[in-house]
Chains A and B, each alone.
Chain A
């Protein structure tokens, strides 16, 4: 059979080419090695933690009660759930609302929009420890909420706001204008169009953003250390202090007394966050392949 592909060269031809130009081959090699390093780093960290941690995933680790002999991570898991739900309740309406304003209402080239974008970008660049300081000064001290899950949730809500905002914005932008025109043409108002037409079609993208935010909340430590604190045990109200899984992990690692349990907790935390992130990426990908 005759090969008609003109630009295709065989491996042997390419190798001969590289023999003549060793520098090019060297470049290819270091580029490949760099990529290999990045991939290996991920695989190594995940596999190492799983191998070291899985043997320590004992029923004791998931006992309902925490005490200093058995550093169960169950209360921390429950606290993480509570704080995640609280944070989402606060941040999702604001994130989606601002994205709707930016995409659907604001006029193009509006100065005000530029200011909001700049601020959101600034927010996403602020390190979590600075959020933690702010939460401590504002929610814990100035508003007298003391160190509590609520203070932690509000602090995290500000932290994940730019994430939810940006992903929602992107999702809204991908909704074709014909949807809007069709809805207006049928006599629907702007509000109705947004609620009945645009939001449902942008939902997967918004959801992917929210799940991404959940991943950040679950893994956050520095912002929570002085806002929701590191009290052990389950909370009786959201005004109580309670440690999340990530903080639990930090305390264990820092004390150095319960290394086995720390490995086990690391596995739980790592798998939780990885599953959340993969889920988010999966939903986002489904969305992009649909369009």
Chain B
């Protein structure tokens, strides 16, 4: 009997330990990133690093300014949101309210499969199909436009999934009430259901934003990677993520540390997005 008790207690301890791994992982990631990245930021100077427009790590003297990459990431993410959010939310509306049952059985798994395609395949597809298309019709080729479009498709499944469950969570009585007041089906959905599900949809958009800003492999292949602030949609951009992958292979010393610091900046962006996501969630739990 005693032995059994000990065994029970021991196993509970083991399960508790495994549960702590995710906390430990987050703490370790924070420690290692900041420990390796922050010294570079202080050496370069915070404002020179985040606000500097010149990225020339191999020059003498070298300059490490990542402002162009920060803006590049923001532009690409914004572009993905412009492409992905309207299509994603409208698709979610269709799936949740207008889709006939037999069609739903095909369409829903299809949107989920979109999430399963590896980002490198999206990148390759973009490189071989979208980029030549843009070069032919708009000029430029690898560009902000190509990256925005492909990333917009990549964040579709996230936005569709979260928005659809948000729309489905709205009580049916909202819809029925609007119908009873004489509104058409479409009007009822857009004027009664969508406003009621807006915090859930917002959560989906934020989640999609996080995906887009962190996307690496697809962006590298199609965004052009020039260190510049793009002046038009067909100009090339370099994102924070691309900067890390492109130069990490041959970098040494302060250059390498500056790349890790680029990762720190990206990580901070992601943390802000995750926190705002959790804030939206707890708010919507409170106010329903």
Contacts and interface: CB of A to CB of B under 8 A. Distances in A.
Interface of A: 17, 21, 23-25, 27-28, 30-35, 37-39, 41-43, 45, 48-49, 52, 93-94, 96-98, 100-102, 104-106, 115-116, 118-123, 125-131, 133-134, 136-138, 142, 158, 161-162, 165, 189-191, 215, 218-222, 225-226, 246, 249-250, 253-254, 259, 262-263, 266, 269-270, 273-274, 276-278, 281
A162 B249 CA distance: 29
Interface stretch (B39-47, B52-60, B93-101): B93-101
Interface stretch (B61-69, B209-217, B228-236): B209-217
A48 B87 contact: no
Contact of A123 (B11, B12, B25, B121): B25
Given A27-B190, A122-B274, A253-B124, A127 B22 contact: no
A25 B111 CA distance: 24
Interface size bucket, B side?
Answer: 35 or more
Contacts of B249: 226
A262 B249 CA distance: 22
Contacts, number: 250
A136 B117 CA distance: 25
Contacts of A97: 14-15, 17-19
Contacts of B93: 31, 34
Contacts of A106: 19
Contact of A24 (B187, B241, B270): B187
B139 interface: no
A215 B28 contact: no
A119 B25 CA distance: 9
Contacts of B124: 249, 253, 262, 266
B156 A41 contact: yes
Nearest to B36: A137
Given A127-B214, A158-B25, A277-B112, A222 B245 contact: yes
Given A100-B15, A253-B123, A274 B117 contact: yes
A155 B7 CA distance: 32
Nearest to B109: A281
Nearest to B26: A119
Contact of B114 (A38, A137, A250): A38
Given A45-B117, A142-B32, A262-B124, 7 more contacts: A24-B186, A30-B90, A31-B98, A34-B88, A221-B216, A225-B245, A253-B124
28 contacts: A24-B184, A31-B93, A31-B94, A32-B94, A38-B87, A41-B153, A49-B121, A49-B125, A101-B18, A105-B15, A121-B278, A122-B271, A125-B207, A125-B273, A125-B277, A126-B270, A127-B214, A127-B216, A128-B216, A133-B33, A138-B32, A162-B22, A190-B12, A215-B116, A218-B118, A250-B221, A273-B118, A278-B109
A278 B113 contact: yes
B21 A161 contact: yes
Contact of B22 (A98, A129, A246): A98
What is the predominant secondary structure among interface residues of chain A facing chain B?
helix
B127 interface: yes
Contacts of B16: 101, 105
A35 B277 contact: no
What is the predominant secondary structure among interface residues of chain B facing chain A?
helix
Contact of B267 (A35, A130, A220, A276): A130
B169 interface: no
B135 interface: no
Contacts of B215: 127
Nearest to A28: B186
A267 B216 CA distance: 21
**6 cross-chain pairs, A with B, having the tightest CB-CB distances, nearest first:** A127-B214, A219-B118, A97-B18, A34-B90, A277-B116, A98-B19
B266 A246 contact: no
A273 B270 contact: no
Contacts of B116: 215, 219, 273-274, 276-277
Contacts of A100: 15
Nearest to B207: A125
B82 interface: no
Given A97-B18, A133-B263, A127 B213 contact: yes
B123 A27 contact: no
Nearest to B27: A119
